[in-house]
Structure 1
Amino acid sequence: MTYSLLLLCRRKAGLTPVEFENYFETKHVPLIRSLTEDTFPIHQRFYMHREEQDGYPAKLLLGSDPNHDALCIMTWKDEAASQEYFARIQEPDSFKQIMDDDANFVDRPSTTMAVLGSSHTTSA
């Protein structure tokens, strides 16, 4: 059975949503891929649509601003595969590179990571 994690991230103060997304896609993901190689998961990233005005409010249809800029879903073939991935990123050199890179674009205290349970998809 697959094993999936949900990661919610907020951009660092002073970055626009576009700068955040660009950094995530062109710098951070390539760094993580290079450090984790064959243990890198299926990694979907969804970016909040934010209006280009003061404060960059989220474009909402219902509710209040979720206060995150990216929702990521990481999926491995099983939990053991995820543990191999985390073992790689926790190696001292890798961990330092990741934390140093995070400091460039992520508000770390607001980051949330959770294990996902069952999944259901409904289509037309």
Structure 2
Amino acid sequence: MTFTVLLNVPRKPGLSPHEFKHHWENVHVPLLKQLVGYDFPLSHTRHYVERNLPSSPTSPMFGPALDSSEIAAANTLLSLGDVDGVAVLTFANKEHYERFMGKLADGKKRKAIEKDLESFVDVNANRAVFAGETRATGRDGGMVGWRFVGSV
């Protein structure tokens, strides 16, 4: 059974969304891979919050289409939010996650990851949710997801 961690990641004040994304993609993830090696998650998916909402046709899933004033109001509300990215880290199991975190708790590695996070994340507002088992449904209606065989 996979073990999933969801992170709501706010960018550091004063950093542009472009700088935030660039650092996360080109500095943070490679550093994380270097620090934990084989215990890197099975996947580390990053979603970046879209601040410019498009208008959309009416749909039962999203409700009626927004007019330009509603889009502007929604963007204003979103800009007050503290989440700029969402990360989904998927591990083979809870033990895999614990090994990953154990490596990051090591003295030099801990200092390196803390310094890196402080350079692009508002660490005081960073939040995690432990989702445990992950399931997804594909277009064909079948289950999609990790099926891990072997040890990590």
Normalised by the size of structure 1, how large is the TM-score? 0.85
1:102 is displaced (CA, Å) by 1.0
Confirm whether residue 23 of structure 1 aligns to residue 23 of structure 2.
yes
**Max Rg structure:** 2
Secondary structure of the structure 2 residue equivalent to 1:110 = coil
Q: Where in structure 2 are the equivalents of 1:24-63 lying within 5 Å? A: 24-41=24-41, 42-51=43-52, 59=53
Q: Which runs of 5+ in 2 are unaligned?
A: 56-61, 63-73, 140-152
Amino acid at match of 2:98: Q
**For residues 62-104 of structure 1, what are the alpha-carbon distances to aligned partners after superposition, in whole Å with 9 as ceiling and x for unaligned?**
7752430110010111100111100000001000001111111
Q: Which runs of 5+ in 1 are unaligned?
A: 52-58
In 1: Cα distance, 2:133 partner to 2:93 partner: 13
Residues 3 and 117 (structure 1 numbering): CA distance in 2 closer, same or farther, change over 3 Å? closer
Give the aligned length: 117
Q: Where in structure 2 are the equivalents of 1:72-111 lying within 5 Å? A: 72-111=87-126
Secondary structure of the structure 1 residue equivalent to 2:136 = coil
Structure 1 residue aligned with 2:5: 5
In 1: Cα distance, 2:136 partner to 2:4 partner: 15
Identity of counterpart residues, as a percentage?
28
Normalised by the size of structure 2, how large is the TM-score? 0.71
